[in-house]
């Protein structure tokens, strides 16, 4: 018997699409009650991993257990206890918010007497009670995302998969979703989320696995990972309304130097994550929105690359 404190146990998972190996034998464990993040660039294998764990893709090698159930052999039992939010908001366009959630409740076998109450409760929790009779196609992107998350919760799953929960959303909608995710986690739901947004991962997750080209290259708490990604970088930033005195940023920990160029603020940092946290906090306090944020050289992927290179180097050393 596998101990239940691990909600997900993945052992050497492999996925081939034809001859292409998309996931190359990854192993990880997700603990009950945590928010576990899969962070990686496009094409890293995040979605593929989620799909293998929820029965949308066959597992070609290795094994996976969810709440002790073998994902390959007991997929129907697994499906009953997990909620899955796919990377696109794919509810039914012509159905109202209420009807969409009711359909999901019916399909998950929620008892007839409890369905309506559960659906109304979710609409309220997600701030959609006044959109109850609005068709899905008439919702904004942010509201669609929220309803899609609600749809994965109709059967009170203990484990929720969120594939790119905030992709394509504006800052305000992103924040709302983050708040909801934290709230769900507080209510005892274990969360497995994928993202290519390093900020999102570090802000939300208790533990993060960084995945690249089908391989987990680093795993740890945000603090543990933070120490691995030190060194100086430049953040380019534009905010609205504009800041007249950019030097206010220089007080933030992790920031080395601040200058302006062509209307953008250039901030040299030695700890990206700490600096970003401070910057966002400061902007929030002064009610400013980020218009543009660029991690110079590249974007977040460069941070991944740094970690990836480190692992390659350490392999080289240990091999030599």
Partner 1 sequence: MFEDIIKAFYIAKKDIKEYYLKPPTISWGIVFPVVFTLAFLLKGGPKSSHLIPGLIALALFFGTTSMAAASIVFERKIGSFERILLFPISYLGIALGKVLSSFIFGMVSLATLIIVVIPFILNVHIFSPLLVTVLVLSALMFSAFGVFIAFLIRDPTNTMLILNSFRLPMIFLCGIFIPVSSLPKFLQVVALLLPLTYSVEAIRFAIEGTFDIIPPIVSILLMIIIIISLLVLSSLEIKNMIP
Shortest approach of partner 1 to residue 75 CB, angstroms?
9
Q: In this chain, which of 35, 46, 176, 204 binds ligand ATP, going by CB under 6 A?
A: 46
Helix, strand, coil share (%) of the chain residues, nearest 5: 40, 30, 30
14 vs 81 by CB, closer to ligand ATP: 14
Q: Is 44 in the site for ligand ATP (CB under 6 A)?
A: yes
Which sign, positive or negative, has the C-alpha torsion 189, 190, 192, 196? positive
| CB contact at 8 A, 131 and 95 | no
Burial class (CB in 10 A: 0-12, 13-18, 19+), 240: exposed
Crossing angle of the two packed helices 97-107 and 112-125, in degrees rounded to 10? 130
Binding partner 1 by CB under 8 A: which of 12, 31, 58, 284?
A: 58
Contact 232, 256 (CB under 8 A): yes
- Binding flag, residue 168, ligand ATP (CB under 6 A): no
19 scored as a contact of ligand ATP (CB under 6 A): no
Considering the complex, state which of residue 84 and residue 216 has its C-beta at the smaller distance from partner 1: 84
Q: Is 93 in the site for partner 1 (CB under 8 A)?
A: yes
Over the window 81 to 120, marking each residue x when it contacts Mg ion by CB under 5 A and - when it does not, the resulting string is ------x---------------------------------
Cα(173)–Cα(55) distance, integer angstroms = 29
Q: Which does 94 bind (CB under 5 to 8 A by kind): ligand ATP, partner 1, Mg ion, none?
A: partner 1
Q: Does 54 help bind partner 1 (rule: CB under 8 A)?
A: yes
Residue 47 near Mg ion by CB under 5 A: yes
Q: How far apart are CA 115 and CA 154, in angstroms?
A: 8
CA distance 73 to 71: 6
Whole-angstrom distance, CA of residue 79 vs CA of residue 66:
10
Contact 162, 85 (CB under 8 A): yes
Question: Considering the rule CB under 8 A, would residue 291 count as an interface residue with partner 1?
Answer: no
- Told to check if 300 binds ligand ATP by CB under 6 A, we report no
Q: For binding to ligand ATP (CB under 6 A), which residues are involved?
A: 17, 20, 22, 40, 42-48, 87, 196
Q: For binding to Mg ion (CB under 5 A), which residues are involved?
A: 46-47, 87
Q: For binding to partner 1 (CB under 8 A), which residues are involved?
A: 17, 54-58, 76-77, 79-80, 84, 86, 88, 90-95, 99, 103-104, 106-109, 151
């Amino acid at each position: 018997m596998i101990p239940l404190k691990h909600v997900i146990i993945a052992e050497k998972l492999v996925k081939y699409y034809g001859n292409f190996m998309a996931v190359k034998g990854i192993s990880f464990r997700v603990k009950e009650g945590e928010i576990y993040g899969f962070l990686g660039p496009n094409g890293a294998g995040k979605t593929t991993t989620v799909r293998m764990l929820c029965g949308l893709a066959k597992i070609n090698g290795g094994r996976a257990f969810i709440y002790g159930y073998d994902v390959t052999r007991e997929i129907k039992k697994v499906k009953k206890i997990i909620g899955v939010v796919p990377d696109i908001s794919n509810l039914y366009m012509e159905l109202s918010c209420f009807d969409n959630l009711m359909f999901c409740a019916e399909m998950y076998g929620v008892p007839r007497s409890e369905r309506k109450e559960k659906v109304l409760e979710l609409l309220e929790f997600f701030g959609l009670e006044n959109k109850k009779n609005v068709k899905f196609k008439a919702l904004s992107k942010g509201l669609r995302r929220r309803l899609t998350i609600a749809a994965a919760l109709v059967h009170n799953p203990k484990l929720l998969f969120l594939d790119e929960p905030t992709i394509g959303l504006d800052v305000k909608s992103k924040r709302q979703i983050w708040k909801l995710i934290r709230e769900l986690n507080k209510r005892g739901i274990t969360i497995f989320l994928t993202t290519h947004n390093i900020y999102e991962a570090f802000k939300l997750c208790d533990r993060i696995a960084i995945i690249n080209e089908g391989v987990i290259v680093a795993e740890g708490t945000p603090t543990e990972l933070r120490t691995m990604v030190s060194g100086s970088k430049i953040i380019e930033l534009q905010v609205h309304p504009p800041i007249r005195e950019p030097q206010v940023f220089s007080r933030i920990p992790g920031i080395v130097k601040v200058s302006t160029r062509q209307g953008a603020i250039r901030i040299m940092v030695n700890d990206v994550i700490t600096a970003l946290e401070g910057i966002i906090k400061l902007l929030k306090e002064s009610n400013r929105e980020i218009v543009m944020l660029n991690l110079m050289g590249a974007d977040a992927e460069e941070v991944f690359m740094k970690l990836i290179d480190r692992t390659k180097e350490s392999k080289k050393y240990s091999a030599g």
